[in-house]
Structure formats: structure tokens, C-alpha cells
Structure 1
Amino acid sequence: MSAKISQLGGAPLLEVKNLETAFDIDGTYYNAVDGVSFKVKPRQIVGVVGESGCGKSVMSLSIMKLLPKGIGKINAGEIIFDGINIEKLNENEVNKIRGKDISMIFQEPMTSLNPVFTIGYQIQEVLFNHQKIDKKEARLKSIALLNSVGISRPEKIVDEYPHQLSGGMRQRVMIAMAIACQPKLLIADEPTTALDVTVQAQILELLKEIQEVNDMSVILITHDLGVVAEMCDEVIVMYAGRIVERTDVETLFYNPQHPYTTLLLGAIPKMEDESERLSTISGIVPSLTNMKKNGCRFANRCPMAMPECHTVTPKLADTGGGHDVACLLFETSRPKEGVANR
């Protein structure tokens, strides 16, 4: 385990226990998040990775209690934030925490920002909800926040509308809104999606700087393992609504154990690779209505699947040194050699 993680002590800031989040499809609820448990320590950056449809964003919306009403619901589990069970709070009580103690950056700033209100109005709305300040003070603080996230001419930008800004600037505005009340936990849901490579690097550098200055914990949801390597202390790998591997970032890259993680890492293009085709993972993530209740959900795509993988559900268990893996290869006497480097 990396030295950095070992220095992150104390009680967890966030603890998710056996979370099950379901969506209504034609009158039947199907779990998009199925028995997920993890912890986030103070000042820790936890990356959540996996293909589209694996439940990453649904998990974050569950923590924020922003699931679409009448369609999505939390079926089971607990979400303990700073000693408080968020799931037991009513809407007014959640509103006092949401935006103040827990904030979220959404993956598409153009649809997250209201097109008919100015940038300043939208930042000030966050401040008014959680702080007792007047309009003049809120405007000055909005300008200071825009300046803190690297936006030039903040005195002018504060009066402009989202469509007048570039994608990178809109994402910086979203970050300014998210940190306006100096939250303890920031959830960043694919914060660099649809941004060019240079802007991506700037946004990630900004997030890292803000996290260090404000001593925040961060849940970073991404499909980009390069971002994970650059930013995170710990990594959670999800597949089809479940966690399949969880460990510190160094161990994940140097000793991946779940076949799915190994294949994800193998799909990363390498400069020295002269092959004409990129490595891919055959098959697709199962839809909500096709999720298997028993067995490993990756079995149909796994090159190392055994017959029992289709009927026995693997449990997420420590394979040593805090490295948790949900794979029958580690629940039997079968040799582990070759799994990490396949």
C-alpha cells in the first residue's frame, strides 16, 4: 500500500454499506447498484472506474440523494456521511448538507448549468442557500471563486451566460459552484468528458490543487485509467453494478487480480505497441433487465471463466494487504499465477 494512503488515518468521512439502487422498468425494479460497500477517508481521493453502464454515476446520485423521483430508489443499504445516515434524512435535512458538506461536479456542464441565468446568479444561489450573506458580498465572493478556479476577467464572466463560455470555462464554473461552501466531500462525475486533452489536464490539475488546499475528500468517477493513475489514492473497479476489485492505485496498476481489471489495463494504448489493432474486451455490459442474480456477471466475457463462475456469486474479499477482489479464482485452491499478467 502506498505511503500516501497509510498517512490517511481516522474514521471514514463516508461509509457506504451494501447499497442497492434500483430503477423502474415497465413496473419492475432492477438494481443498477447491487450490494456496493466502500469507505472514503478524510483527504483521500478514491477513483471509481468501469465501462459505461456499470453503475458509477448511479452510485454517486444515490449518495447525493438525487435519483429521479418515481423512477429510481434506494432499495437497501446505508450511506453514512460524517456520522450521519443520509438515507434517513428528509429532503430539507439533505438540502442542508448537499452543496455545503457534499458537492458534486456533473459530467456535462452545459446541461448542468441553467442557460437562462448568469454565471454569477448560479454561484450566488449556492451561497444564499447555505450562508447568511447579502447580495454585494455574494457577488464579490462569486468573483473570488471564479478567480480561484483560474478564470480570467472574473468581474466580466460573472455577468455572462453559460453559452458564452467554452467547455473548459463552463467546467471551471461548475468547480467554483461545487467548492463555494468548502465541502468536506467532492464527487466529480467524469469531470473532463468532452474536453480536449490540454483542457483535461488543466481541470485535473485544478481539482488536485483545490483538494490539497481545502483538505477535501474526493470521489472521482471516470473511465480513464490514466486519470486514476494521476489523481487517486485508492481505486474501486465496478462491473454491472458490483465492485469487482478495490485496492490502492499502485497495487492496481502493478498487480491487478480480477480478470476484468486486467483486461481494462490491457486495453490502454501503449506507445511502444506496434500492433495495428487495439486490445478490446469482447461482449458488452449486460443491461439492467439481463443482470444475473447468481454467478459472476463478467463470466460471459471472461477468458478465465470456470463452469462454477456461471452459478456461484463471488464475494468481495481481501486477498492480502487490503486488496479486495470478487473472483472465484481467489476463493478456491486454484493457482493465482497468471491472473495478473494475462
Structure 2
Amino acid sequence: MSRKKSLLREEPLLVVNNLETAFEIDGKDYNAVDGVSFEVKQRQILGVVGESGCGKSVMSLSIMQLLPKGSGKVKAGEMIFDGINLEKMTESQINKIRGKDISMIFQEPMTSLNPVFTIGYQLQEVFFNHWKITKREARQKSVALLKGVGISRPEKIVDEYPHQLSGGMRQRVMIAIAIACQPKLLIADEPTTALDVTVQAQILELLKEIQSVNDMSIILITHDLGVVAEMCDEVIVMYAGKIVERTDVDTLFHNPKHPYTTLLLGAIPKMDESRNRLSSIQGIVPSLTKMPETGCRFAQRCPHVMPECLTITPILNSVDPGHVVACLLFEKSSPRKGGWDDDYIRD
């Protein structure tokens, strides 16, 4: 069900400590990412999952230092990449890293690519920003990159515009731009959104191949747990701006702890069972301006909510080696320590 876990170096490539990212609305700051901490190891693929609005993309934009000017800001925490504190860097310093050492694939290639410039121009721009290279060399490298990501007729595609390409080809172009300088860390934000199933499989296979060849680390942001099972070594589950569970991919699928994680897994349709209706999670993620100030943010939707869930904010606790959960069911002081009631059955 999941790919084999690779041997990873102990020293992490990226360390995020207590990250808080806020947006100003009507003169008040609201945290879209609230106290998030995690590590990305060398050559690791880390999955970040959760519903829309849980803070996945905002977290990635914080790492890339691409938050909207004026409204978005990192309020607290630190992001240490390869020994460098990204938050303390100037704009010119971060520009030398962004696109070269850290790169990002955005979730909508049609809006991410500039419609008035050719594919080749947008690829060559990456080389000119980071390398001393001639136009001829940049064009040759661009053609080679397009060929490397599986685009046929790269010598012609390099002179075409984004609207002339299919969705799958545009996504391959985005991947080519992101890996042009062989970055150490690639952030892929919903890389298979709006693509048909066959093209999705091709894109995922391409990412795995690129990661293996270049020894990259990848942060894969998705709401598709099938993609997580196929691609990731470790998984972070986010809800309403916080991490609620973190573990390796095999444990997540075979021994989930947090009620939210279990409900997400329960909503996946299975080939070997017959259902009249698919399972769903009742309610919606609370909006940024209506986030509960105390208690568990999932409490209003949780089928196992206790009175103390509304007043006590859970913190991440270790339940097994390498497995942490933010849920009162698994805290030492919980009256139901140890998790689920006997009448709760996980698939």
C-alpha cells in the first residue's frame, strides 16, 4: 500500500519550530498556521494532509517567504533550512535560495505560468536568476529539462505558450521549472489537482523518479490520501492550523489515533466493500475569524468529544516511537486514557 521506507540521514534538512502565520482582517491578526513544528529529513518525502482551509498551503508559502505583502506575516517561530534561518534573511538573500535550493510546484499550473511568455522564456529565467549562463546554453538546458519530464517535441514546445498545452503538459512544465537548478527541497502543493487519473499517476511517478535521481527532499501537500500512500515516508495531519497527528505512512493507515485522521481514512471508498453512501465528516473547518480560542478545534465535529475537549487545548503527545497525537483521549490525565471506547471500530 505504501512505498518502502528509505534510509534517511539523521540530520534534518528543514526544521520548523512553533511557526505562527497570521493574516490581518479588519485590523486584527488571525493565525492560519498556529504553533506548527516538524522536520524534513534528507531525501525524505513528507506528506501534509487535511481538508481545504487547514493551513497546508499557508505553511508552504511561509517557508518560501511568499506570503502576500501587507496582509500575511510570520508572527513567531523559526524555519531553519540547511542551517540557515529563513525568517532572518533579507529579500535579496532569500531570492538566492528560492528557486535554487528550495523550489515549489504550485497547485494550478495555468495561473502559475505567465500566459504572455513562452515556455522556454519562463524556464530560461530560472537559469539566468541563479547561474552565469548564455542564452544558447539556457535554451539547450530548457529543451533537455522538458525532455526529462516526459514532454515530447521539446524543441517545439519550448517556443509555445501555456494556453497551447494540455493540463498535464503544463504541470510537467511547472515541475521542470521547479527542478531546473536541482533544489535540495521541493514543495509540491497539490501537484495533481484537476488532472485526470492517468495523468495523475504519470506526474506522481515522475516526481518519485526525480526525487530518487536528485536525492531531493519533498514536502507533498495534498488532500488525497491515496497519493500519500503511494508517495510518502512520513505524514503530518493538519486541522484548523494545527498538527493533530504525525507518524510514518504505514502507521497512519494501519493504526491511526486521532479521530480526525480516522474519519479521513474512513471516507476513502474501498474496492472490496459495498456502500449505498460514502462516509463523510459532519460540519466544516472553522473559519479563520471564528476559530475557538480554547479547547480542541475538532471538538464540534468529533464523534468522541468529551466535556473537557471544549476547554482544554490538547498538545502533541507521543503514543508510540515516532508517533505523536494531539488529542485528550491519549493524554495521561485523560479519563479515557488509551484511546477509543470498546464500541468504536476502526476499519
TM over 0.5: yes
SS at match of 1:46: strand
1:208 equivalent to 2:208? Answer: yes
SS at match of 1:8: coil
Equivalent residue number for residue 179 of structure 1: 179
C-alpha RMSD over aligned residues: 1.3
Asked if the contact 1:258–1:340 (Cα under 8 Å) also holds between the matched residues in 2, the reply is: no
Residues of 1 paired with 2:77 and 2:243: CA distance?
15
Equivalent residue number for residue 8 of structure 1: 8
| Equivalences for residues 60-99 of structure 1 within 5 A | 60-99=60-99
Residues of 1 paired with 2:43 and 2:194: CA distance?
28
| Stretch of structure 1 that moved more, 264-273 or 58-67 | 264-273
Instruction: After TM superposition, give the deviation of residue 195 of structure 1 in Å.
Output: 0.4
Residues of 2 paired with 1:226 and 1:5: CA distance?
17
Asked if the contact 1:21–1:59 (Cα under 8 Å) also holds between the matched residues in 2, the reply is: yes
Please tell me the residue identity of whatever aligns with 2:346. N
Identity %: 78
Asked if the contact 1:110–1:170 (Cα under 8 Å) also holds between the matched residues in 2, the reply is: yes
Asked if the contact 2:244–2:325 (Cα under 8 Å) also holds between the matched residues in 1, the reply is: yes
| Equivalences for residues 1-342 of structure 1 within 5 A | 5=5, 7-331=7-331, 332-334=334-336, 335-338=338-341, 341=346
Instruction: After TM superposition, give the deviation of residue 24 of structure 1 in Å.
Output: 1.1
Instruction: After TM superposition, give the deviation of residue 340 of structure 1 in Å.
Output: 7.2
Asked if the contact 1:259–1:340 (Cα under 8 Å) also holds between the matched residues in 2, the reply is: no
Taking a change above 3 Å as real, the CA distance of residues 26 and 38 of structure 1, as seen in their structure-2 partners, is: same
Asked if the contact 2:329–2:340 (Cα under 8 Å) also holds between the matched residues in 1, the reply is: no
Asked if the contact 2:3–2:231 (Cα under 8 Å) also holds between the matched residues in 1, the reply is: no
Please tell me the residue identity of whatever aligns with 2:162. P
User: Any stretches of 5+ residues in structure 2 without a counterpart?
Assistant: none
Taking a change above 3 Å as real, the CA distance of residues 98 and 114 of structure 1, as seen in their structure-2 partners, is: same
Please tell me the residue identity of whatever aligns with 1:69. K
User: Any stretches of 5+ residues in structure 1 without a counterpart?
Assistant: none
Instruction: After TM superposition, give the deviation of residue 147 of structure 1 in Å.
Output: 0.4
SS at match of 1:13: strand
CA deviations on 1:301-338 (whole Å, 9 max, x unpaired) are 00001000001000011111110100000012524245
SS at match of 2:31: strand
CA deviations on 1:38-86 (whole Å, 9 max, x unpaired) are 0000000000000000000000000000000001000000000000000
Residues of 2 paired with 1:318 and 1:42: CA distance?
23
TM-score normalised by L of structure 1: 0.98
Residues of 2 paired with 1:120 and 1:317: CA distance?
49
Please tell me the residue identity of whatever aligns with 1:336. G
Residues of 1 paired with 2:203 and 2:59: CA distance?
23
SS at match of 2:70: coil
SS at match of 1:318: strand
Taking a change above 3 Å as real, the CA distance of residues 187 and 323 of structure 1, as seen in their structure-2 partners, is: same
Residues of 2 paired with 1:280 and 1:10: CA distance?
38
Query: What is the aligned length?
Result: 341
Residues of 1 paired with 2:102 and 2:340: CA distance?
42
TM-score normalised by L of structure 2: 0.96
